[in-house]
Structure 1
Amino acid sequence: MLQRSFYERPVIQVARELIGCYLVREIDGETLVGKIVETEAYAGPLDRAAHSYSNRPTERTKAMFQEAGHAYIYEMHTHALLNVVTGRVGQPHGVLIRAVEPIAGLEVMKQNRATVKRQIDWTNGPGKLTKAFHITKALYAHPLNERPLYIEEGEKGVKIARSPRVGIANSGRAADYPWRFFERGNPYVSTFRK
């Protein structure tokens, strides 16, 4: 498992280096594994697109002000979205896990995504992957170096590309920050829309 020191570094660096790592979810005696292929960095009080832009903890964002390596999970529409808290305590930076490539536990993922026909669509977006891995708000503030949800060191030498983040609107210049990282050529990377 990646230790807290991995997450205590600058958010852009963590977002980039999570590409190729493995997201692991243990549930009901099964182990689900996905290679992280897409992330986005959110730089707290400096970033108009971040939930913690005001730099004040709220009931929704309090996990972002905790120690690095905790899960910040929020709901958007019907989706739970998984973020990793980075930096120092009180420095509310986070990395959104946008997409993973399924590696193990495929039968469970298939059951969790029973209404989705193509495997490629199980985990190629932030709300899709949390459904496939059964990641809910019950795991809010969970330390990501402990079971049942954690991240492990992954593949080395993954070819990484970067772009502006997806779906950022009404955020001024923040919409153009090239803080989205993804594995070049991986089919599980979400479709980019401006």
Structure 2
Amino acid sequence: MKKRHLAIALFASSAPMLHGAAFVYDELIWVTENSSFSFTDPTTVFYEIDSDSSGLFGASEFQGADLGSFTVGDELYLTGEQKSDKDNSTDVIGHTLFWSLDGGSTFSTLGYGFQSDLGDGNQVWGAANAGNLTSNILDGLGAGSYTLSVWSTVTTDGVNSDTTIFNTNGGSNYNATFSVVPEPSVALLGAFGILGILRRRRP
């Protein structure tokens, strides 16, 4: 069974989504088949989840993307990174990535750590460089089609700004689909079983 991994790294640039004295911008999603995340891995593909921009850094839209097909028992992970800007005495104290399956009310989170200060209130927060990942998204999933929704937030101290800045695609989140198929051995056993039944039913 080949294990495939999806790692999502959020970057956050030139067309910011303004919320008071703090904002998040230029978010990208990175997809990779390697469990050890690397930005330079040849299997890594990136998407954007920025509703204010299009084609950021040549990235495709995550919204509406088909992430491919996985086998029951495979693994799928998310990680991320994004930038924020702050001014007017506002302090950014956290970034978080959220994900859920099939629009359910239950969601999981991945907290981002502070990475670097870019000056003029711009900062980089993330989990990708540290190699931190979510739990396995495919854990317990049977064969079928699924929708993966992602969104992110910035948390501030509430001084001259909302305490939570949302990147949610206008409340609809960013949604991509994928499918899970049975392991080949299971599918073959099922086919052989059907053939056996048909043979027994022959007059």
* Higher RCO structure (Cα 8 Å, ≥6 apart): 1
TM-score of the superposition, structure 1-length normalised? 0.24
Higher helix share: 1
Higher strand share: 2
TM-score of the superposition, structure 2-length normalised? 0.24
